[in-house]
Amino acid sequence: MVGQISLIRVYYTNHVDFKTRPVLIFKEFKLGDFLFLPLTTNKMVPGIVITNRDLQYGSLKRESVIIVKKLAIGNQDNILKIIGLVKPSFFNKVHTEVCNTLNCYEI
């Protein structure tokens, strides 16, 4: 699941209403939970540009931006569709950028 671009339901704070968003699954946890980074087609948003060249398989409808600063948690029950899988080298680039943004370091 890590490295997948998936279409998921992202719930609002009322836990009833949601929007459907493409996301990059960043890390898996037990019980089907995962950390994700949302994608947008708005190129004015800061982040990492992703194109079909960055995918191992699958395809994006449009060139997009991975919003690194919006790391969030989801659950596999909310995955509607798997869009593709990023190449390992691209995922490493995203991982490095997330760690740089969050100032996380290995201990």
Sign of CA dihedral 78, 39, 105, 89: positive
Residue 5 has pLDDT above 70, yes or no: yes
Sign of CA dihedral 13, 62, 46, 32: positive
CATH number of 63's domain? 2.30.30.110
Question: Identity (one letter) of the amino acid at 36?
Answer: F
Residue 102 has pLDDT above 90, yes or no: no
* Greater model confidence, 77 or 104: 77
Give the distance, in angstroms, between the CA of residue 41 and the centroid of all CA atoms in the same chain.
Answer: 13
| Length of the chain measured in residues | 107
Burial track 64-85 (b if 16+ CB lie within 10 A, e otherwise)? bbbbbeeeeebeeebbeeebbb
Q: Which domain holds residue 38?
A: 4-102
> Has this prediction a pTM greater than 0.85?
yes
User: Tell me, what's the pLDDT at 56?
Assistant: 97
Residue 105 has pLDDT above 80, yes or no: no
**Interval 36-60: pLDDT, tens:** 999 999 999 999 999 999 999 999 9
In-domain check, residue 50: yes
| Domain count within the chain | 1
In-domain check, residue 107: no
Distance CA 71, CA 79 (A): 16
